[in-house]
Structure 1
Amino acid sequence: MKKLSLIILSLLLISLVSAQNTRPNIVIIYVDDLGYGDLSCYGATEVQTPNVDKLANGGVKFTDGHCSAATCTPSRYSLLTGRYAFRKDAAVLPGDAPLLISADRPTLPGMLKQNGYRTAVIGKWHLGLGNGDVDWNGKVAPGPLEIGFDYSYLIPSTGDRVPSVMLENHHVVGLDPEDPIKINYKKKVGNDPTGIENPELLRYPSDTFHGKTIVNGVSRIGYMSGGNSARFRDETVPYQMLNKARLFIDESQEEPFFLYFAFHDIHVPRLPDAPFIGATNMGVRGDAIVQMDYITGELINHLEKRGLSENTIIVFSSDNGPVLDDGYSDEAVELLGKHKPAGPFRGNKYSAYEAGTRVPTIVYWPGTLEAKESDALVTHTDLYASFAELIGHQLNETEAPDSEAMWSTFAGESKKGREFLLEESVTLSLRHGNYKYIHPTKKNPSWIKVEKNIESGTSIEPQLFDLSKDIGEKVNIAAKNKKLVKKLQKEIERIQNNEVTR
């Protein structure tokens, strides 16, 4: 009898393990500053992206897919928490900011880990680290490991901010304890040359904001001294990320895994490796797109070589719209030619106009999802609840409060998108069908135009556009549609005042 009980228990355990292993792996490939028109599968003609095109041609390609915000930190916050970033007052963080996501906040990796997934983040982080007093020479915590990730390999903030090092789990990679790191965002530390003081040492000029400590021939935001053996070379970072992703995949084949692969490309400073220089006629920005496509292809190839592709969902997208001159004079503007980074849409990164958040969005699951194009209105904020729905996880009352379960839409089985979709920039905007409403501001943020030469999209008056007739958001019809404006304004107020939306 005892032997029979052991056999039954063994069969139950085998059944449980088997059930866990049938859950699909999930890979989110998150590109930085990639615009709607930056891929050949979305209409680009001056650059070719065959590996991303493979995903688009074999999966569900969305034409009305959105990140949650027109800048990086807020989008990443919403993606990982299913919560709008304005609730946290999240903005683009400095390089020494504390961890933005509190350890008690439910997260997408935490939810998946709870359901048997092994989880990793590899690439750009930019969500803060520590509690405001990081010791870069010791244990850097709290960080990704405290909010649901089993493994992390990171650019701590972003490539144009110090410290210019890689962080693996809690420690800086390759650090010499005899050459400790010092970071300061207010005053100079050490004797390292800066872009402001030594412009002759730069590969290309920068503005004063990006003109502090020079690393790898490029000046950065903030001051850094020490850590010379740990400082990264921008050109090799994509390969390092790819190798770490391959290792994570190889070590996770016996259980379902979640990989958040966050590119630094095509964010500034743009320093593609030698094989990609001259791949386009658009200079380093175009060449960085080709490099991103290559790394994406290598990641897909590795999944295929390991026989994992048919049990792996890949979501490919971008954290915000495109930007050309973002602090460095790298000829992105001068060499643009006929290329349209935002496609047919108005605005760019930072902007309340549609190009600020409408980005390439592809869901690929070979053997399961049919290849198709979808015009459903979708947002990254809903990936949390949608993956929970897919694996049978019941969200609690306060978990992912702004995320809606829409797996059938992401899978291309339904055409039903969001009824209302919030877009965050320097103001809040709302999509409702083909209508786009931009909430008025008390004053226009002039720095976006002055410093970035980008239209902010804001006005002291309400703005309403009918995108079915006016894709370029040129004709404000708010004055003629006061009833609709009032409805959309009321919905924004409801969202602002009600965190739990399910």
Structure 2
Amino acid sequence: MATAGANLFSRATAQSRRPNVVFILVDDMGWGDLSIYGRTDYATPNIDRLAQQGVRFTNAYANQTVCTPTRIAFYTGRYQARLPVGLREPLANISQADPNVGLPPSHPTIASLLKANGYETALVGKWHCGYPPNFGPLRSGFDEYFGNLSGGIDYFNHRDGSRVLDFYEGNLLVDRPGYATDLYTDKAVEFIQRPRSRPFYLSLHYNAPHWPWEGPEDEELSRNFYNTNGYTAGGSQAIYAAMVKNLDDGVGRVLQALETTGQANNTLVIFASDNGGERYSFFGPFRGRKGSLYEGGIRVPTIIRYPGVTQTNQVSNQVIITFDLTATILAATNTKFHPDYPPDGQNLLPLLRGERSEFSRTLFWRYGAGLATRQTAVRSGDWKYWRQGNQEALFNLATDPGETTDLKASNAQVFTRLRNQFQHWELQMLPYGA
């Protein structure tokens, strides 16, 4: 067991050196899809080990129940509905996209802020926040990019749902053979292993386990793909298990690269999902899935390992959300937000260091720009206000995580307060159609 003096020394070392950052964002992973979160039909030993070496959050949320808005919230550290692209739920495929909608290059991002602060920046994997020539990772602060620009690609032929090749190195379209998850892992490992004289920020945004459901041994499915019923068809629990286990293997390789290069003790590693799971996910006690503002659509696995700051094998019930991770990364790297774009997220470092106890949050969601029955939600403490169309409800998540019992009649004051808070928050956001 480490002594108190050694812990103080390692903490002081971590705080005196600017850390590297590896931010791992997976796609459509349900809250319970890791074995450490409760999945029993397969194991994820590498990501589980990451959790055992740091902090696993049980009340972590995505900023939205679909891809693009959550990514906008992460890149900007602010509610996605402050920007027109954040209202796209999600952004369309390359062949269908509006060329004038994307993350504006003029808007500060976590990448541009870190780059200005001397960091080497790279994005490997899914972007989904706008297409060249007007938008793209290289225009939003990343020194380099390797990945897919749209929401979902075939894992082998790398084409989107419109049969358009979507695989880029920088701004160049490339046709590389291989399973996408493995290609992203290979690139991330190569980036980590490079000799360098300055700290790095790597965003590793796997497209897995997003549909189409194809495991690493399913190339034949890919060859016949367009003769089936489309991207969201098919799959099985066994295929999903193979996808997640391959993803776990990839994370293990990335973590091992940090170890073998001697950088693990000075690297902040964060793992999260962009929204709740899909057809083959496990949601634990929660109701709903991707596309819903019930807990299953927005509650996600989230893990933080920061050697010298986080203790090992910790479980936190603190309520957090995607853009808190942005604020935490910038604080850890001594990087300031642009004064014209103050953060909506909370810096979690005081919590991670044990300098602050768990605190109450009030968080807001709005979803359904193109739906007849839009959804809204507020989480405040243990209470959750939920609305879809004309239906409204109040749940106590501490006693009813499955959101089965509507308490608005017996807790009318709480219900009215949260509904009014949502209305006040919405006035600060862009309206749908902006």
User: Structure 2-normalised TM-score?
Assistant: 0.82
Write the distance in 2 (CA, Å) between the matches of 1:35 and 1:493.
Answer: 29
Q: Name the SS of the counterpart of 2:409 in structure 1.
A: helix
Correspondent of 2:315 among 373, 392, 397: 373
Q: Measured at CA, do residues 415 and 311 of structure 1 come closer, stay the same or move farther in structure 2, by a change above 3 Å?
A: same
Deviations 1:334-374 (A, max 9, x none): xxxxxx61111111011110111111000012343102110
Deviation at 1:249, TM superposition (A): 1.8
Write the distance in 2 (CA, Å) between the matches of 1:409 and 1:491.
Answer: 26
Pair 1:44 & 2:45 matched = no
Q: Measured at CA, do residues 124 and 466 of structure 1 come closer, stay the same or move farther in structure 2, by a change above 3 Å?
A: same
Letter in 2 for 1:63: T
Residues 465 and 473 of structure 1 are in contact (CA less than 8 Å); yes or no, is this contact kept in structure 2? yes
Residues 46 and 281 of structure 1 are in contact (CA less than 8 Å); yes or no, is this contact kept in structure 2? no
Write the distance in 1 (CA, Å) between the matches of 2:306 and 2:112.
Answer: 23
Deviations 1:33-64 (A, max 9, x none): 11111111001111100000001111000000
Q: Name the SS of the counterpart of 2:391 in structure 1.
A: coil
Query: In the alignment, what sits opposite 1:255?
Result: 198
Residues 440 and 463 of structure 1 are in contact (CA less than 8 Å); yes or no, is this contact kept in structure 2? no
Correspondent of 1:142 among 121, 125, 135: 135
Query: In the alignment, what sits opposite 2:244?
Result: 289
Residues 68 and 423 of structure 1 are in contact (CA less than 8 Å); yes or no, is this contact kept in structure 2? yes
Flag structure 2 segments of 5+ consecutive residues without an equivalent. Answer: 1-12, 154-159, 221-234, 369-374
Pair 1:269 & 2:264 matched = no
Deviation at 1:440, TM superposition (A): 4.4
Deviation at 1:418, TM superposition (A): 4.9
Write the distance in 1 (CA, Å) between the matches of 2:78 and 2:54.
Answer: 27
Matches within 5 A, 1:57-456: 57-87=52-82, 88=84, 89-96=87-94, 97=97, 98=99, 100-130=102-132, 140-157=133-150, 158-159=152-153, 160-161=160-161, 162-173=163-174, 230=175, 236-251=179-194, 253-274=196-217, 282-324=237-279, 332=280, 341-371=282-312, 372-410=314-352, 413-426=355-368, 427-441=375-389
Write the distance in 2 (CA, Å) between the matches of 1:489 and 1:497.
Answer: 13
Residues 95 and 128 of structure 1 are in contact (CA less than 8 Å); yes or no, is this contact kept in structure 2? no
Deviations 1:70-109 (A, max 9, x none): 1111111111111222333231111123352101111111
Letter in 2 for 1:106: P
Write the distance in 1 (CA, Å) between the matches of 2:346 and 2:356.
Answer: 14
Q: Name the SS of the counterpart of 1:478 in structure 2.
A: coil
Flag structure 1 segments of 5+ consecutive residues without an equivalent. Answer: 1-17, 131-139, 174-229, 325-331, 333-339, 442-459
Write the distance in 2 (CA, Å) between the matches of 1:20 and 1:62.
Answer: 23
**Number of corresponding residues:** 382
Write the distance in 2 (CA, Å) between the matches of 1:475 and 1:403.
Answer: 30
Query: In the alignment, what sits opposite 2:398?
Result: 468
Q: Measured at CA, do residues 418 and 23 of structure 1 come closer, stay the same or move farther in structure 2, by a change above 3 Å?
A: farther
Deviation at 1:436, TM superposition (A): 0.9
Which deviates further from its counterpart, 237-246 or 352-361?
237-246
Deviations 1:265-311 (A, max 9, x none): 1011122212999xx99221111011110001011111111000000
Residues 70 and 424 of structure 1 are in contact (CA less than 8 Å); yes or no, is this contact kept in structure 2? no
Deviation at 1:242, TM superposition (A): 1.6
Which deviates further from its counterpart, 354-363 or 80-89?
80-89
Letter in 2 for 1:38: D
Q: Name the SS of the counterpart of 1:73 in structure 2.
A: helix
Deviation at 1:113, TM superposition (A): 1.0
Structure number with larger C-alpha Rg: 1
Q: Measured at CA, do residues 383 and 477 of structure 1 come closer, stay the same or move farther in structure 2, by a change above 3 Å?
A: same
Write the distance in 1 (CA, Å) between the matches of 2:171 and 2:236.
Answer: 41
Deviation at 1:253, TM superposition (A): 3.4
Write the distance in 2 (CA, Å) between the matches of 1:242 and 1:148.
Answer: 21
Deviation at 1:417, TM superposition (A): 4.0
Write the distance in 2 (CA, Å) between the matches of 1:417 and 1:74.
Answer: 25
Residues 270 and 284 of structure 1 are in contact (CA less than 8 Å); yes or no, is this contact kept in structure 2? yes
Q: Measured at CA, do residues 286 and 72 of structure 1 come closer, stay the same or move farther in structure 2, by a change above 3 Å?
A: same
Deviation at 1:250, TM superposition (A): 2.7
Residues 378 and 384 of structure 2 are in contact (CA less than 8 Å); yes or no, is this contact kept in structure 1? yes
Deviations 1:407-442 (A, max 9, x none): 22355653334520223433221111111111342x
Write the distance in 1 (CA, Å) between the matches of 2:351 and 2:306.
Answer: 14
Pair 1:496 & 2:432 matched = no
Query: In the alignment, what sits opposite 1:54?
Result: 49
Query: In the alignment, what sits opposite 2:372?
Result: none
Deviation at 1:124, TM superposition (A): 1.2
Write the distance in 2 (CA, Å) between the matches of 1:344 and 1:385.
Answer: 29
Write the distance in 2 (CA, Å) between the matches of 1:105 and 1:499.
Answer: 16
User: Structure 1-normalised TM-score?
Assistant: 0.71
Deviation at 1:490, TM superposition (A): 2.0
Write the distance in 2 (CA, Å) between the matches of 1:302 and 1:148.
Answer: 24
Deviation at 1:143, TM superposition (A): 1.2
Deviation at 1:172, TM superposition (A): 0.6
Letter in 1 for 2:17: T
Deviation at 1:114, TM superposition (A): 1.4
Which deviates further from its counterpart, 405-414 or 94-103?
405-414
Write the distance in 1 (CA, Å) between the matches of 2:15 and 2:56.
Answer: 28
Letter in 1 for 2:169: E
Which deviates further from its counterpart, 161-170 or 343-352?
161-170
Residues 75 and 85 of structure 1 are in contact (CA less than 8 Å); yes or no, is this contact kept in structure 2? yes
Deviation at 1:403, TM superposition (A): 2.2
Write the distance in 1 (CA, Å) between the matches of 2:403 and 2:282.
Answer: 17
Write the distance in 2 (CA, Å) between the matches of 1:20 and 1:170.
Answer: 36
**Identity among equivalent pairs (%):** 32
